[in-house]
Chain A
Amino acid sequence: MPVKDRMGVRILFVFLSLLLSQVAWAADDATRLLERMSHAVENLNYEGTFVYIHGRRTETMQIIHGQDGGIKRERLLSLTGEPREIVKDDQVLTCIYPGTRSVVVEPRRNRLGLPAVLPDRHASLSAHYELKLGEPRRVAGILCRIVDIVPRDALRYGHRLCIDERSAMLLMSEMLDHEQRVIEQFMFTSIGFPSEIPRARFEPVTGGEGFTTYRVESGQTDTQQPDPAWHIQTLPAGFELTSNTRRSMASSQSPVQHMILTDGLASVSVFIARPESLDDMTHGSTRAGALHAYALPVADHQVTVVGEVPMQTVRMIGESVTYRGAR
């Protein structure tokens, strides 16, 4: 090879190496920013208003999130339509729906003992998603950095996030399908980071007499042994079973088996419950933005699959649920 050509190859090699290291650096940077965001959204004090756009609807919501006496609290109030409200502390999660005059109370779960992250989360993520650090953008008057999480197949959704690099707060999030079509979007229109939030700000402003309350009674919250005969025969590529439990849930008389699958980013829940009667069985699907649900009867049980993944994925999982045991 002539000297000139060898020089050209070297230059090309150096250029490609630099390019690849730049790409790797950008992906690492995106990962670090995402990790900071995970911590920030959980631990910062913030109060703001955001719009949530999904399908043909736009909702405006107010959120207050912070700590009071060492207890994390959060209140969300819908400002458009029915004034739905969700209040969380470390003990319970309360959902108030004046439209149906109902209140759903779920105990907060003790997260200890459950894996906080997948052991090979990053490896799994990179196998099925590509991370990209994007351009700066301005949301709610704050400069933030775009992070794109692009799926490598049509079994999961992509994300475009805008994260404040200073506070690491998530200011905007879009969920996109495999063809880059926006499925849902949320974006803060205003946000503040108060050093303290008075306890009274976390009190619900909706609700009242005449509401029906659905709750898990005390003493029923203990986790029971799951029935080992339930299996998911074919998992979508990249998904792993990470949890399999059985416990009481609000609005279900008998304990419900709950299996959780994840690919490191998207998660899907499979709920298996014995119906009060066979007439209670349902077979069908519904959706809300990026969240899909698919219900079907299997072995005299009601199976319901819920997840922020495309319908084909929840359907594939639901139809793979089998019971391998004597009944």
Chain B
Amino acid sequence: MNVSKEEFLSAMVDDEADAFTARRLAAELAGSAEERARWGRYHVIGEAMRGDLFKGMPVDFSDRVMAALDDEEPLQVPISAVRSKGMRYRPAIGIGVAASVAVAVLVGVQTMVTQAPDPVNPVVATVGSAPEVLAVDRLPPQTLAQVAVGASATEAVPSDRRLAEQRQMDARLNSYIVNHAEHASQHGLIPYVRAVGYEDGQ
């Protein structure tokens, strides 16, 4: 991106770009991860400069979320019960092959992405860091082996078949979340619908 484009982008972030420039830049943003990251950084910087970012959010927000994630029981697999029934259950949704969820909220929109917590390489978002979608975390092989009923250690690394199954499972959950957004949200006082995508990470 040249200097002139950066200026245009900055103007767009500040809502000062004209409509034509904004449309052109939006199209470019859609096609370039690097420029989207830059766009996100400009927003974070702009909000930080205006003092609007994270107002009301505790300073140790990230740490608290990490602590909450650590406290959360990630998986319940009643292996003995499953075996007695002769069934084979897969690891929990979004856990074996961690998936990311794109949720759109906010009046029908908002986007959230989830993944299994990575105990090895925790990533903490900080003010000023690029708000990139993080790479997909994968549970350590031994964890997979523990949770996949009937799986041997050699099956710890997800096979193409398992990835395909996981993708199908993700699509099903995605469909459920979209249906939840479409049907259930209207009962609440808060009108934002959640339309959701369950996105398998790369």
Contacts and interface: CB of A to CB of B under 8 A. Distances in A.
Contact of A286 (B15, B52, B62, B93): B93
A99 B136 CA distance: 12
Range, interface on chain A:
35 or more
Given A174-B56, A251-B172, A267-B185, A283 B134 contact: no
Q: Among B36, B73, B134, which residue has the most Cβ atoms of chain A within 10 A?
A: B36
Given A260-B187, A285-B76, A80 B133 contact: yes
Interface in B30-45: 30-31, 33, 36-37, 39-40, 43-44
Interface of B: 13-15, 26-27, 29-31, 33, 36-37, 39-40, 43-44, 46-47, 52-58, 61-62, 64-66, 68-69, 72-78, 82, 87-95, 99, 101-114, 116, 122-125, 131-134, 167-180, 182-192, 194-197, 199-202
Contact of B110 (A49, A61, A116, A296): A61
B114 to A, nearest CB: 3
30 contacts: A37-B191, A51-B43, A51-B47, A53-B57, A58-B40, A58-B44, A59-B112, A65-B109, A80-B131, A84-B102, A84-B197, A106-B175, A138-B52, A182-B57, A187-B52, A189-B46, A189-B52, A205-B27, A243-B183, A249-B175, A265-B189, A271-B176, A281-B89, A282-B93, A284-B91, A285-B93, A286-B99, A287-B114, A304-B173, A308-B194
A59 B95 contact: no
B58 A182 contact: yes
Contacts of A235: none
B92 A282 contact: yes
A155 B137 CA distance: 29
B30 to A, nearest CB: 5
Interface of A: 34-35, 37-38, 41-42, 49-63, 65, 74, 76-84, 86, 88, 93, 95, 97, 99-100, 102, 104, 106, 108-109, 111, 114-118, 121, 125, 137-140, 149, 159-161, 170, 173-174, 177, 181-187, 189-190, 192, 205-206, 214, 242-243, 245, 249-252, 256, 258, 260, 262, 264-269, 271, 278-279, 281-289, 291, 293, 295-297, 304, 306-308, 311
